[in-house]
Amino acid sequence: MRAFVVRARAAPVDSQQFLAAIGHEAHTEILAHTLMNTIFVAQSHRDDVVVYLVLESTQDFSRTICFRSNELGHIGGFHEQNLTNKIAKALTVSKGMAKEQLREVEAGITVRTVSFEKLIQELAEDYQLYMLEKKGTPVRDIEFAANPCFLLTDHIPMPKKSFNSLKRLGTQHINLGPKMLFASQCVVLIHNELDMRL
Ligand SMILES: C[S@@+](CC[C@H](N)C(=O)[O-])C[C@H]1O[C@@H](n2cnc3c(N)ncnc32)[C@H](O)[C@@H]1O
């Protein structure tokens, strides 16, 4: 299984605010772009991929929306509007949830009121964590574990205090080259790197 976590610190958890932020300062469209490039390939979608979108601009709890490629039904296409609507639907379903609850949204999609910190603690039990960042080890020098989980952010960098928890969980740091890329571009390069090694 390949897992991807996108920590979107600027993304509102209110569905209307989330949709209204597309193309504005919070740039919520990056979640749709990243989702598209983690799950879909031409004429199909990838097997064995799980994507967690963690939206953190909230008055109560972060929302973690999980997409499991093996369980997704026909989700109606991969265009940006469809994917942002899927995210907005999960946010609407999550309205009023208490801390660390989970709700089903539709086949292959769930939403949880769980924080990034708690999520990565859980994931570290089953996956080797890899943080994508410019100061990391060049990707071609990395020996990937069988179950890799890649951590990315939106345009707001990971807060310093998270680096301590990531370190405790044995996170490795990966560099994908000299250019600062979009999260959606990073996931394409990661998939390709892993595909080439199969
Ligand atoms: C648009 S970037 C975030 C930019 C953010 N302002 C920063 O300074 O980290 C989105 C994500 O892609 C990762 N990223 C972008 N370019 C990268 C590269 N060349 N190597 C590794 N990770 C990269 C960043 O670490 C981040 O998780």
| Binding-site annotation: residue ranges for S-adenosyl-L-methionine | 132, 186
Q: What is the ipTM of this complex?
A: 0.94
pLDDT value of residue 77: 80
Ligand 1 centre and the CA of 135: distance in Å?
A: 10
Three-state SS for the chain is: CEEEEEEEEEEECCHHHHHHCCCCCCCCHHHHHHHHHHHEECCEECCCEEEEEEEEECCCCCEEEEEECCCCCCCCCCCHHHHHHHHHHHHHHCCCCCCCCEEEEECCEEEECCCHHHHHHHHCCCCEEEEEEEEEEEHHHCCCCCCEEEEEECCCCCCHHHHHHHHHCCCEEEECCCCCCCHHHHHHHHHHHHHHHC
Ligand 1 centre and the CA of 180: distance in Å?
A: 6
Pocket test for ligand 1, best of 133, 182, 184 (most atoms within 8 A of CB): 133
Domain 2-197 has CATH 3.40.1280.10: yes
Ligand 1 centre and the CA of 33: distance in Å?
A: 15
Q: Which backbone phi and psi does 52 adopt, to 5 degrees?
A: -115, 125
The separation between CA 14 and the C-alpha centre of its own chain, rounded to angstroms, equals 18
108-152 pLDDT, tens digit per residue, is 999 999 999 999 999 999 999 999 999 999 999 999 999 999 999
Query: What percentage of the chain exceeds 90 in pLDDT?
Result: 90
pLDDT value of residue 198: 81
Single pTM value for the model: 0.96
Determine the average pLDDT of the residues in 24-31.
Answer: 94
pLDDT value of residue 64: 98
pLDDT value of residue 78: 83
Q: Residue 9, Cβ neighbours under 10 Å: how many?
A: 18
- Over 90: is that where the pLDDT of 31 sits? yes
Determine the average pLDDT of the residues in 98-104.
Answer: 97
pLDDT value of residue 74: 82
- Over 90: is that where the pLDDT of 22 sits? yes
pLDDT value of residue 43: 82
With beta carbons less than 8 A apart as the criterion, state whether 184 and 37 touch: yes
55-74 pLDDT, tens digit per residue, is 999 999 999 999 999 999 88
Question: Residue 166's closest CA among 180, 177, 150?
Answer: 150
Phi-psi region of 145 (alpha: psi -120 to 50; beta: other; left: phi over 0): beta
Burial class for 156, CB neighbours closer than 10 Å (0-12, 13-18, 19+)? middle
- Over 90: is that where the pLDDT of 44 sits? no
pLDDT value of residue 46: 95
154-192 pLDDT, tens digit per residue, is 999 999 889 999 999 999 999 999 999 999 999 999 999
pLDDT band at 47 (very low <50, low <70, confident <90, very high): very high
152 CB less than 6 Å from ligand 1?
yes
